[in-house]
Amino acid sequence: MAQLDLSREIYYSIVDRFLRKNKGLFTEYEMMSAKNYLKTGKYPDLYHRDILREIFDHLALLPVNENMYIAFMNEILKHYDITNKNIIEVGGGVFSNLAKRLTTKQTTGTITVFDPRLDPRIKSNSRMILIKDNFTRNTDVSYADLIIGLRPCKGIDVLLDSAIENKKDFMVWFCEGGPHGDYFDYFEDEDEWYHCMNITAKNGVERQKMGKIKKIEYPNLSKYPIIYNSREE
């Protein structure tokens, strides 16, 4: 998350106006959390860090070197040719920040975004298809060339299972705090959850002959890495 280069008063004013204008997109607690950060510089919990990061990026308040959306997009472009490719994004967030950037890097191809929290005012088009629903193991991925997820929380295990079962390339950035909610009760802590997901991906990729699991770390941005399958020898 970015350091506040502007005065807190200016940031607070910008974000406060934005939240009031977009009140229906966020819970009261999320709005309170965002305002609390601007007053104190402290996050109330890890979940709301992602909400704040998305708001700050949408308002162009994140420096490039602290912007996970840009970092993740650059890694996708580095490891995959997305020209004329169909991409599925799991957990695209309220504003589809990553998908919007990716469409500017394609001349042909599509990106389909799944998230029940998608802003209904943002409309699908021929290049970016927005689905205001959860991505599940029953979701049709037959048309996809690549499945991605930027910190999709509990959507990570579904993403990995679907991609591996259907032999689709994937890239996912793990989030701190594990998957959140009741699902987390199955694990001792977030590290156990991460290692379980990583082993699941490694074993599945090897079983399906999808290459090897590779890891990319951004210690200045996240405790946990990006993982993806590489078919290169």
- Residue range 13-40: average pLDDT? 84
Q: Could you tell me how many residues make up the chain?
A: 233
Q: What is the pLDDT confidence band of residue 190, given thresholds at 50, 70 and 90? A: confident
Residue with token string 């001349």: 107
Q: Give the pTM.
A: 0.90
Q: Tens digits of per-residue pLDDT, 117-142?
A: 999 999 999 999 999 999 999 999 99
**pLDDT value at residue 81:** 93
For residues 69 and 57, give the distance between their C-alpha atoms in angstroms, rounded to a whole number.
Answer: 8
As a whole number of Å, the end-to-end CA separation of the chain is: 36
Which positions ≥6 away from 183 have C-beta within 8 Å?
154
Q: What is the DSSP letter of 159?
A: H
For residues 112 and 89, give the distance between their C-alpha atoms in angstroms, rounded to a whole number.
Answer: 6
Higher pLDDT, 134 or 4: 134
Share of the chain above pLDDT 70, in %: 87
User: What domains does the chain contain, in order, with CATH numbers?
Assistant: 8-65 (no CATH), 67-230 (3.40.50.150)
Which amino acid is residue 12, in one-letter code? Y
Average pLDDT of every residue of the chain: 87
Lowest mean pLDDT among 61-65, 102-106, 172-176, 185-189: 185-189
**Beta carbons of 170 and 160 less than 8 angstroms apart:** yes
Q: What is the pLDDT confidence band of residue 41, given thresholds at 50, 70 and 90? A: low
Which residue from 29, 30, 49 is spatially nearest to 41, judged by alpha carbons? 49
